[in-house]
Amino acid sequence: MLIDSHVNLHAPQFDEDREAVIARARAAGVGLMVTICDRVSRFEAVHAIAMAHGDVWATVGTHPHEAKENPLLDPGALCDLAARPKVVGIGETGLDFHYDLSPRDVQKAVFRVHAEAARLTGLPLIVHAREADDAMAEILEEEYARGPFKLLMHCYTSGPELARRAAALGAWFSVSGIATFKAADEVRAVIADMPGDRIILETDCPYLAPMPMRGRRNEPAYLPHILAKLAAVRGWSLAEAEERTEKAFFDLFDRIPRP
């Protein structure tokens, strides 16, 4: 089964044809999708999509860009929403020091709240990291020392040192369409060294369409292009890559029943 671990089906880019996008994903062999909450205030819209489709699951959280919306976010509030049906992850959360759309101290504080919620719920923490490798590694190690939790380094494009430190905490890694970009040799080098039993796939649609669709609105139906690139980078057959990423996904998102 192909599984898209990170879609943004609530995004306005899908408002005109959301059901058709989901249908095309199924036709392309995508058997399951996780639609991601980018801010708590949008959770109801995200959750409604999951509840309306048997093959779509949801998360709850606030992206670092939006951390300023809830600077005093309480882990209990996340845990309450995470108890709702079909919620299987905490996030997307993390640090983004490239755009700094929220103050860095607020990003860090809100990220730690998500880590606490992941500990309390047992759900995996879905982590966004951009140009914040040292701070990210430090916070992950400090929070993990307070009590373990599962974590996913989503759309991983950071450096090999953060990957090493995250892997030492048992992290999973998701590979996106960036792996197909011509200039992404450094990303592919890190992918080649990721733990082979902890790699999953994502599109991050509607963003980051893979080659040869780059420049278009991304869709889950484009996931086979990412699978093919992962297989090539790792030296796996397509069947092996699909089997490995499926198993890794269900090992991480263990609240989702295996079909």
What pTM was computed for the model? 0.97
In a domain, 257, yes or no: no
Amino acid at 255: R
Q: What gap in Å lies between CA 181 and CA 165, rounded to an integer? A: 25
User: Which residues share a beta bridge with 172?
Assistant: 152
With respect to residue 258, please indicate whether it lies within any of the assigned structural domains. Answer: no
User: Is residue 58 one of the residues assigned to a domain?
Assistant: yes
pLDDT at res. 259: 83
Closest CA to 27 of 5, 60, 2, 62: 2
What does the block give as tokens for 141?
Answer: 């190690």
The per-residue pLDDT for 205 is 98
Prior bond to 12 cis, omega within 30? no
- In the chain, the amino acid numbered 103 is P
CATH of the domain at 109: 3.20.20.140
C-alpha closest to that of 127 among 49, 187, 63: 63
User: Would you call 105 exposed, middle or buried from its count of C-beta atoms within 10 A (0-12, 13-18, 19+)?
Assistant: exposed
Q: CA 243, 249, 253: angle at the middle one, nearest 5?
A: 150
Q: Quick one: pLDDT at residue 239? A: 98
DSSP state of 205: B
**DSSP assignment letter at 26:** H
Distances from the Cα of 40 to the Cαs of 36, 61, 79, 117, in angstroms?
A: 11, 5, 12, 13
- pLDDT score of 105: 98
pLDDT at 177: 98
Range of the domain at 182: 2-252
Count of structural domains, the chain: 1
pLDDT one digit per residue (tens) for the chain, 259 residues: 999 999 999 999 999 999 999 999 999 999 999 999 999 999 999 999 999 999 999 999 999 999 999 999 999 999 999 999 999 999 999 999 999 999 999 999 999 999 999 999 999 999 999 999 999 999 999 999 999 999 999 999 999 999 999 999 999 999 999 999 999 999 999 999 999 999 999 999 999 999 999 999 999 999 999 999 999 999 999 999 999 999 999 999 999 999 8
- In-domain check, residue 151: yes
